[in-house]
Each structure stands twice: as structure tokens, then as C-alpha cells.
Amino acid sequence: MKDRRLRVLYLGNAFPPGMTGEKFVSAHSFLVPHLSETLLIQELSKLVEVSSVGLLPGTAWHRTKEPKDDSPGLAHDVVLWDRNPALWHRWVSWRKLRTYYLDKVQRGQMPDVLLVRNLQPVFNYFVKWVGRQQRRPIVVLLLGDSGGVGEKISSWRRFRYKFKPMQMLEEEAILLYDACLVSGLKAKRFFEPRGVPWVWIPSGFHFKYDPPPPNPNQEGPIRFGYFGTLTERSGIRPLVNAFVEMKLPGTLHACGHGELSEELKQLSQRYPNFYFDGFLPKQSDCLPWAQQVDVLVNLRLPYWGQDNSAPSKVFEYGMAGKAIISTRTSGMDEVLGDEGLYIEIENFEESLRQKLKEVSAMSRPELQRRARIIRERILKDYSWGALARRSVEFFDKLTEGTPQTPGTAAKNGGQT
């Protein structure tokens, strides 16, 4: 047992406090991953000693020159930039990161755990360097989203990457890490065969919200809803098409932001049973918006990379206090349990139509019962505090014994 708190050095992409702005982040699709990192690391900080380094996108460069806002974030020790010219900034960033790390080691503050979000060139290059040191921390990958892992790579791409400075294929980079916090359960297939320890840390709920109690006197047909991204990969198009073609007695309501917004707006003008409310001012507005429906639909499909990560949307759905129709992709059946209403990926469109028809015939009390149990489970097991505690338990097991030397972490076993 250590006579001090565990030291964790976090390398991620969260913005500093007061920098993002809700509108800025929503429009650039940064809000959910930014909040995920911020909330998890803030909870970790209550349990262990955390220091952090942020690698920020070039599109945020101008934000350093603007007035601050009240948005949440992480107070990084060092802020790095991923901007053009890419190779120059990556080299400068890794040098700054190495200098910062060496200074910590010289002051006797070497971390016990190096926690790295996703497989990014600067971080991979740094992890590779750390792996060559005589003494080093356990290096843990926080695999929040990495679409290229496990995908077929062409010979031409392999050849080109041999000549790309500071870059490596994800299948090579993943071998640098001693352990992993996986977001999507399917990602364990990259670690289990090698005996690399892993633990499941999906997303959590981002907004605290207490839904109003159900109206016991409410009558009429069942109403369906969707909020989230409006892209080809989101599944919103087959959902809308199936619903309007089936002419179910209820209504379908949608809101969100993405490339299909104009198309959905036009469909809502053509079909009286489909309502499109566009882009809400704040993402947290989606939860009160959802009170107009009885069941929410999550159509996460196993597209390229999507099975490596968990959708945070399902946790927002659960916090809204609504029953949930979902695919099982990314371990969603683990989250929703027996109370989830599942669409099978095989024969997807047929399964979708059958589930919409089935749920349309269900009673509201039954949907409300399912919603209540799901919400209770999410509050108990998928708060950021619960996920942080699970992470620290994992770190404690990884760091038991003697100080870490290269190549020994994977001997500690498999899943925790």
C-alpha cells in the first residue's frame, strides 16, 4: 500500500475553464467529449492527485484572445496546440510535454499512472519515449473514440505511414499502452488476446436533471422522440422514413444539429405525424424538451469505429426519465438491462419497424416502469463519480508492487 495519494498525469483534449462557450462547442461537435473529459477528471481529482496537459485543436486558437465565459473545463498545467503547420506544432508540443514531464520527475513527482486519451500523434510519440525510460509510470489508454482501430488497412496506406514523421497506424500505437479504459465493450478484443488489463468505462450523464412525475391520466397514442446529431451515421433518416411510412397512430419528434437538418425540416412539413424542432440553444435543453414524448430512440449502428465507443446520448435519455429503444451496439444492453427495448442489427430495418409497432401498442405505465428502473441504474452506476471510483480501483490494482519498468504492466492480468 502507498503512503500517499496515487499520482495521475492526464493527457487529453478538454478545454480550460471559461474557454469553450456552449454555442461554440455545440457548433463544432466538441461539447460532449469536452464535458466527458472534464467531468471524469474532476471526479478523479477528488480521489487521486491529478495533473493534466491539454492538446487543443487549431480551431480554438482564437478563443485565447476573446473574453472568458463561465463554461467548465480543466485547469491544465500545460496547453499544447494541434494546428498547422502540423509537423512543426506536433514537434514543439511533444518537446514541451517531455520538458514538463522531466521537470516533474526531477522534483520527485513522477506519476504512478499516465492516462492518455485516444491515439493521437503527439501523445503516441511521447508514450513511445516514456516506454524507453528506465523507470516510468503505468501507461493507460482512455479509448474514448478511435475509429481506425481494428479496421482493414490498405498496403498503400501502410507504405505511406512509413514516411510520415511523428505518426503511426492506430494498430501499432495501441501496442504502446499497458492497460486500457475502454468506452465500447467491443474494444476489449484489442487487449484480451494480449493479456492486457482493461476495464469498461463508458460515458456518463452530463446534465443533472429531475424529470417531472408522469401524468397518470395521460391518454392517447404513444409519442416517440430523438435528440442528437443529425447525420447519415446517426440512424435518424431510417427512423423517420419508417415512422412516416408505417402511419403509426402516434407522433415522432426530433431535434438536433447536423447535415440532415434541412431534409428533416422539409419532411416535417410533408408529414403531420413528424415534428422537427431544429437546433436547441443548449444541449441541456434536450432533457426538458424530451418531456413531450413517451419513449426515446437510440439508433447507434456499428459503422466504422462506432463500436469502439459508447454514446453519451443514452445516458441523457435515461436522465430524461423516458423509456429507451436502442440497438445493443457499444454495450448499451449492459446499461439498459432487461428494461431496454432492443432493435437488432441483423435485418435492421425490419427489426426497427417491428419495434416501433410493438412499442406503439404498449401501455404508458409499462413504459414508465422501464424508464424509472433505467434512470435509477444510471444514477447509481453511471455517474461520473461512480466511473471515477471504478477507474481508481483499476489503477490501484495496476500499480500494486514494485515501481513500473518497461513491459511489465501487461503481466498483471486481464479485465478488472
Q: Indicate whether 355 and 404 sit together in one domain.
A: no
Widest CA span in the chain: 69
Helix (H, G, I), strand (E, B) or coil at 143: strand
Q: How far apart are CA 170 and CA 153, in angstroms?
A: 10
pLDDT over 60 at 406, yes or no: no
- Indicate the residue type of 9: L
User: Residue 339 has what pLDDT?
Assistant: 97
pLDDT above 90: percentage of residues in the chain: 55
Residues 120 and 242 in one domain: no
In terms of domains, do 332 and 403 share one? no
Is the predicted pLDDT of residue 24 greater than 70, yes or no? no
List, in order, residues 6 or more apart from 218 with CB less than 8 Å away. Answer: 364
Residue 15 lies in a domain: yes
pLDDT of residue 146: 61
Q: Parallel, antiparallel, or unpaired: how do β-strands 7-12 and 198-200 relate?
A: unpaired
DSSP-derived 3-state class of residue 393:
helix
Is residue 217 in some structural domain?
no
- CATH number for 349: 3.40.50.2000
Report how many helices (DSSP H) and strands (DSSP E) the chain contains, helices first: 14, 13
Residues 282 and 366 reside in one and the same domain: yes
Q: For residue 219, tell me if it sits in a domain.
A: no
Three cell numbers written together for 216: 397518470
User: CA 253, CA 121: separation in Å to the nearest integer?
Assistant: 41
CB 14 within 8 A of CB 74: yes
Q: 348-360 vs 236-246: helix axis angle to the nearest 10?
A: 50
Q: What is the pLDDT at residue 25?
A: 42
Quick check: is 137 in a domain? yes
For residues 346 and 336, give the distance between their C-alpha atoms in angstroms, rounded to a whole number. 20
pLDDT at 251 over 90: yes
C-alpha span between 80 and 96 (Å, rounded): 8
Q: Which residues contact 147 (CB under 8 A, 6 or more apart)?
A: 304, 305, 306, 308
Measured CA to CA, the distance from residue 258 to residue 226 in angstroms comes to 13
295 and 398 inside one domain:
no
pLDDT digits over 227-242, tens only? Answer: 988 988 888 999 999 9
Domain assignment of residue 361, given as a range: 224-381
pLDDT at 72 over 90: no
Query: What's the domain count of the chain?
Result: 2
Residue 340 shares a structural domain with residue 388: no
Residues 188 and 291 in one domain: no
Answer yes or no: do 272 and 145 share one domain. Answer: no
Find out whether 327 and 342 touch, Cβ atoms under 8 Å: yes
Q: Which helix (H) or strand (E) holds 225?
A: strand 224-229
Verify that 292 and 407 share a domain, yes or no: no
| pTM: predicted TM-score of the whole model, two decimal places | 0.85
Same-domain check for residues 271 and 284:
yes
CA distance 378 to 315: 7
Query: What is the mean predicted confidence (pLDDT) over 343-367?
Result: 94
At 253 the pLDDT is 97
User: Is 398:138 a contact under the CB 8 Å cutoff?
Assistant: yes
